[in-house]
Amino acid sequence: MKKLYSWSLIITLLFTPYLYGESLTTSTENNIYYFSADGDDSNDGSIESPWKTLEKASEIAQLQSKGGLLAPGDQMLFRRGDTFEGKLIVFAQGTEAAPITIGSYGTGELPIISGSGNIPNGDNLEAVKLTNTPYLIMENLWIKNDRKNKGNITWGSNTSIGIKVYANKWGGVMKGLIFRGLKITDVFGIDMIDYQGNFTLDYYTAHGIFFDSEANDKTVSPIKEIGIEDVLIEDCYFYNLGSRGVHVRHLSNIRNNPIDSEDRNKNFVIRNNVFEKLGGDAIVFASAYNALVEKNDFIDLGWGDHKSSTDRYFGRGEGCWIWDTRNIIVQFNRQYRARGFGDTYGAGGHIDFFCKNAIYQYNYSEDTEGGFVEILGDCVNSTFRYNVSKNDGFRDHHGFSIWVSGYVGSGETPVRSDSNFVYNNTVLLNKSGYTPDISIFAKNTYIYNNIFKVINGASIGADEVMIDIENGSELLVSNNLFYGNVSNAFMNLDNNKITSQDPQFMDETATDIDGFQLKENSPALNNGKAFPEPSFPMAGQGIFENISLHTATDIYGNPVDVKNLIPNIGADNKHNIGLPSDAVRVTGVSLSPITSSLEAGETWQATATISPANASVQSVSWSSSDEAVADGNATITVTTLDGRHTTSVNVSVGEVLYSLVLNGDFEND
């Protein structure tokens, strides 16, 4: 058998049953086992004499105590260009220093592991199943499971999984998993018929990767912790799946467990992946603790007709949906054309009930059926900031630009969420028929520094603006820019708003964030509200080592300091002059003289006066309606630097060019 390395030292590591349940023998003589469609299971597994089937692969991937061969540091490789049908079952366990790797070798297309196909006993529920397998790497493989033949499997026709990762009481906590460079495509259940024979979406489980953990075992003392921790999913492509791309679930029997880190899967990083043409959501977290979702593309989610029992697509999806989750950052993602009869919101997804410390920031979303912001009941510290939303919200049922609901489950008494923040986002609606509303049933809620541009027959709040804030709590809406068809009922909540002024995007026809940068004369510049923004308690720790306690940049990388410096309105802080938060704002500008007539050879001097006299910014800009006028009239206009105040004077010019002299304390365009 071919060896990857060869040393004489043998190390035996003993793991307690609490963690993994058996003693592992690891050697610095790390083995590589090879599989090829041209191989034979009677071979020795070397590259010259590879094995052939997934049955053989599952045999060597058993626990060592049950005859398995895979030891920490070993590799199991499948030849590129080959297809392996059946089911790969893995129990083997690596170590932090020596993980087990399942991958590929050779050249060409990735090797396919398919749970469906020419399989005598019927297509498998999973193509790959990992049970209690700590410290394992899966990379450079193509996983499929398009189930059509039920065979001997008499249940679960509505279930199909690409890779199932399962933690139970026999293994405890499973740590250190990496999924990298995978293609996961064509995963479908046979139908959408549940175990009672009814057509239902609720039990349709056709996922790319499904992380499933039992609840902690409370029948023993001390309580035995069960879960999946320290997981990285990166550079993978999820395409054409019946339901979800990645589903992370912990079967805790405590709803909204007050102990944040108990009975939850922990420390998930999902980055640099593409999720395309999925019947459901790209990513779902149910009972998780610490997750970072960044730099993913979400394209055509919620694919299919949810009313059809033969479609095999779920028909409802979005980027990242979280439930009963603590400490999550969803950032730098792009979402296009998400569809669904419920939920399906922009900004990268929505916050379902029982969540705490969730931040959706720096995301771009376009053409999302439901709307922009969704926060459901009994959540604390939910933040949407520095996102760009274009044409999100064309569904009549539960279609909102901002929706904060008390929903905590069917038939349950609504519970208001607390500390909801929606600030420095850019929202554009420019398609006729896009008419999202506003609904806020909550405790303390803050809506600051957002741009809402609504034109071309679109509207916000035309049908409903529902505000219900608990007594003793506050709703503060301030320093937003409203342009176009926005309901007065919503705008009038803001006593420091800007209205009737176009925010002046660079190119609102763009399909990414670049077009939504602000021009140099935008009224959104330097007109935001400085305030003590919410902090992220896990900043700088673990998977959040690069996350700051408070916002440090906008979506474009421009520096921001929302607490100490007055920001721009919207997601772009470029051209900001950095006024301190206690700056005295300009309230007006006047010109003198207010009219003037000039004859040949005369000079006219205008003086602009800022109000109040102690305003922090005294600069203004000047412009003329006709800078080259020689005989006739011209209008001279002065504008404050923040763009909010302007005044003009008419000048009548005789036979020669006028000479304009400005007060020396000001700037001239």
Name the nearest CA neighbour of 141 among 79, 194, 201, 91.
79
H or E, element range at 56 = helix 54-60
Q: What angle do CA 48, 49, 52 make, to 5 degrees?
A: 130
pLDDT at residue 198 in the model: 63
Strands 10-14 and 23-27: what pairing? antiparallel
Residue ranges in the chain whose pLDDT is less than 70: 1-28, 193-202, 253, 256, 306-310, 594-604, 616-619, 625-634, 641-644, 651-669
pLDDT at residue 514 in the model: 97
Q: DSSP readout, 240-279?
A: EESS-SEEEEEE-SSTT-SSTTTTSEEEEEEES-EEEEES
pLDDT tens digits for range 97-110: 999 999 999 999 99
pLDDT at residue 433 in the model: 92
Distances (CA, A) of 176 to 96, 133, 667: 7, 9, 60
CA distance 339 to 587: 45
Q: DSSP readout, 556-577?
A: TS-B--TTTBPPPSSS--TT--
Classify residue 253 by burial, with Cβ atoms within 10 Å: 0-12, 13-18, 19+.
exposed
H or E, element range at 25 = strand 23-27
Q: Which CATH class is domain 588-662?
A: mainly beta
Classify residue 112 by burial, with Cβ atoms within 10 Å: 0-12, 13-18, 19+.
buried
Question: Model pTM?
Answer: 0.89
- Per-domain residue ranges for the chain? 588-662
pLDDT at residue 611 in the model: 83
pLDDT at residue 16 in the model: 32
Q: Which residue has the tokens 């809406």?
A: 477
Distances (CA, A) of 339 to 166, 178, 389: 30, 30, 15
The helix/strand count (H/E) of the chain reads as: 2, 49
Residue 332 structure tokens = 């730098």
Please tell me what DSSP assigns to residue 7: -
